[in-house]
A and B are shown apart, each in its own frame.
Chain A
Amino acid sequence: MQVLDKTQVEAISRALKEPGWLLEKRLKALEAFARLSYPSKKDEAWRYTDLSEAPLEQEVETPKGLSLSRDELPELVKRRLEKTDVSGFLVFVGPDLVYAEVPEELSAKGLVFTSLAEALKTHPGKVEATLFRGVYVEDKFAAENSAFFTHGAFLYVPAGLEVEKPLGVFKVLEGGKASAGRSLIFLEDNAKAAYIEEYLSLDLPPTLHLSATEMVLRPGARLRHAHVQTLGDGVWHFHRQRALLERDAALNDLVVNLGGRYARSEVASELLGPGAESEMLGLYFGHGLQHFDHYTLQHHVEHHTRSDLLYKGAVKDEARAVFSGLIKLERGAQKTDAYQANRNLILSPTARVDSIPQLEIGANDVRCTHGSTTAPVDEMQLFYLQSRGLSRSLAQELLVKAHLADVLNRIPLKALRAHLEAVIEEKVRI
């Protein structure tokens, strides 16, 4: 069995024909990975999480250079493609970019949407300027990703280009080996785009999945980003993302956890310039033994910035969810508007939610609110709906959808919203 060591980092870098600076960065990340220990319940940010069954230190998959025709794509992806409205998309199967469709007219205008490996060849400067700026060696898993990632997607939108229709990345996990990938999104001044990353798989043997998303938004750039995982059982999904928002940049972010055995999302928005705005939406619905962790950071560094976070979720069976959100205001962050709300619906007495909203304020002329509610499903509502002939499960489905509606309604991507509603319906009936 391979071990997570220097030989392997060098092998990955060589196989991907990477430049020297990247290998150096990977090796530095490896040092951090070796130095850091895996988190335990003694760590404040992991106190609700049991990693004893997680396939840590799993061997990392290696790129095979596979490529497919549209007809040969996995069924999971084909089914999604039938119901999506993305204008261009990349498909990864395991570590390989197997298929890509990018509208010519966008490429002609200077937009780059391809794999990280390809972008390193065609636009090395743009990658070097931004890669690892958002996620590098923040913790054991981030360091593991930075040292061992085998694939990634890269989106670059030149100054002033506004792309209305969303671009999508569909990644299918094959399972049995650890998979580490990244998304790097770089929008120049006043550029506009929408980017959806979706993670799909069948039920798998225990599989480690590491994803990292970095977003660099130059002044006035506007990005709508969605991270959607509907992975199969068996997957342990560790996601970390960080957006860097410069002056007047705006991010509309959505994180969706519906699948996997365990999923953790660490989501940060750094408001680095006056006028920057970040909307952060989260949606989760756990069943069976699923466990979802959400750690969010609204980091107001500069004055006159705004953030608005709404995470809503439901749990049934023995599922667990954790929300821990921090609004952090630096000393110079006057005239900040920051909102944070987390609302949970509990459908069974054996399901559990822990919600910890936090505020750290270093400025005085600000408006901040945060709140959290966790409540069981209302038996009176259930009885009322049932008294009109709706079965208990259909009544629950209505109540779960109603609970999640204000997040769903804030997603202007119609096809994505319909997809999420369908998955939620399915999960109620399981």
Chain B
Amino acid sequence: MNQLEIRDLWASIDGETILKGVNLVVPKGQVHALMGPNGAGKSTLGKILAGDPEYTVERGDILLDGESILDLSPDERARKGLFLAFQYPVEVPGVTIANFLRLALQAKLGREVGVAEFWTKVKKALEVLDWDESYLSRHLNEGFSGGEKKRNEILQLLVLEPAYAVLDETDSGLDIDALKVVARGVNAMRGPNFGALVITHYQRLLNYIVPDRVHVMMDGRIVAEGGPELALELEAKGYEWLRERVKEEA
């Protein structure tokens, strides 16, 4: 059961139901894409997986390697190996990236992490991202451009090495060079011990992170699944085409 499984998940915010029975499985070792038009509920799913207290889960379950994480706090989920790259990373003035990352790594590993061990890890991650060491002494996301914030999310991904990652529109607002850097980071993580769900509105990112499977979400549920070719088809025909098809099938 080495997989991230979302089972008939219903969820709401402020009384409005956003997710209406999501079923989705990402086996460890694979990278899946979650596509869909704006307002389909993709980002909501990402936040709920991470345990955002703003949302209420009404029905269903989330299983990490066969174990329900629904009752776990966000930090407990993270320590179990789940990582969410935020669509809008939060600015935390007064906290340096280095200090924060080391505390997060210690929390993840459940032990002290020496300065040498920490730096070895961080330096490797910085190289992959082609990022300057000076960023580590900057305050977390404070005054960062959109691209810097996304790169910082991937830096955390590389250092924390989660078993499963959800990347919420990490491509939005990036130029092509930044996009390539982000993709390089995710691809560096690929392997038998890593599963990822890449949430994106556009096919563009999937040129650089080629997914094993593609899921399409509309109006709070998964309406289509397929191989990487599904993303290309959507790019060519648009979401309206799929919407019509879903209607016909119903």
Please give the residue numbers on chain A whose beta carbons come within 8 Å of chain B beta carbons, in ascending order. Answer: 378-381, 383-392, 394-395, 398-399, 401-403, 405-406
Contacts and interface: CB of A to CB of B under 8 A. Distances in A.
A398 B74 contact: no
B94 A392 contact: no
A391 B104 CA distance: 9
A389 B92 contact: no
A425 B160 CA distance: 24
B50 interface: yes
Contacts of B99: 398
B86 A384 contact: yes
Contacts of A402: 92-95, 139
Contact of B79 (A380, A381, A384, A389): A389
B56 to A, nearest CB: 15
B52 interface: yes
B103 A394 contact: yes
B195 interface: no
A70 B142 CA distance: 48
Interface string B83-97: 110100110111100
Contacts, number: 75
A391 B74 CA distance: 9
A386 B84 CA distance: 11
A387 B103 contact: no
A380 B108 CA distance: 20
A192 B65 CA distance: 65
Main DSSP-derived SS at the A contact region? helix
Contact of A398 (B52, B86, B100): B100
Contacts of A392: 73, 75
B156 interface: yes
Contacts of B31: none
A405 B142 CA distance: 15
Contacts of A379: 53
B74 A383 contact: yes
Given A387-B74, A399-B94, 12 more contacts: A378-B90, A383-B53, A383-B74, A387-B75, A387-B84, A388-B83, A388-B104, A389-B104, A389-B108, A391-B75, A401-B94, A401-B95
A159 B248 CA distance: 94
Contact of A386 (B75, B83, B93, B139): B75
Contacts of A386: 51, 73-75, 78
Interface string B49-82: 0111100000000000000000001110111000
B107 interface: yes
A219 B133 CA distance: 47
A387 B51 contact: yes
Residue among B74, B89, B100, B139 with max Cβ neighbours from chain A (10 Å): B74
Contacts of A384: 86, 89-90, 92
**Interface extent on B, as a size class?**
20 to 34
B185 to A, nearest CB: 16
Contacts of B94: 399, 401-403, 405-406
B95 A389 contact: no
Interface string B20-62: 0000000000000000000000000000001111000000000
Contacts of A390: 75, 103-104, 107
10 contacts: A383-B74, A384-B86, A384-B92, A388-B160, A389-B108, A389-B160, A390-B103, A390-B104, A399-B94, A402-B94
A381 B50 CA distance: 14
A389 B107 contact: yes
A381 B141 CA distance: 11
Contacts of A378: 90
A398 B95 contact: yes
Contacts of B84: 387
A26 to B, nearest CB: 47
B73 A388 contact: no
Q: Top 9 nearest A-B pairs by Cβ distance?
A: A402-B94, A389-B107, A389-B78, A384-B90, A386-B74, A388-B104, A386-B75, A405-B94, A389-B108
A385 B52 CA distance: 12
Nearest to B82: A387
A380 B88 CA distance: 10
Contacts of B139: 402
Nearest to B104: A388
Contacts of A381: 90, 92
Contacts of A383: 50-53, 74, 90
Interface string B138-149: 010000000000
A387 B86 CA distance: 10
Interface in B107-143: 107-108, 139
Nearest to B47: A383
Contacts of B92: 381, 384-385, 398-399, 402
Contacts of B93: 402
B75 A389 contact: yes
Nearest to B90: A384
Contacts of B73: 386, 392
A388 B90 contact: no
B53 A387 contact: no
A349 to B, nearest CB: 15
Contacts of A401: 94-95
A388 B100 contact: yes
B100 A387 contact: no
Nearest to A406: B94
Contacts of B89: 384
Q: Which of B73, B79, B90 has the most CB of A within 10 A?
A: B90
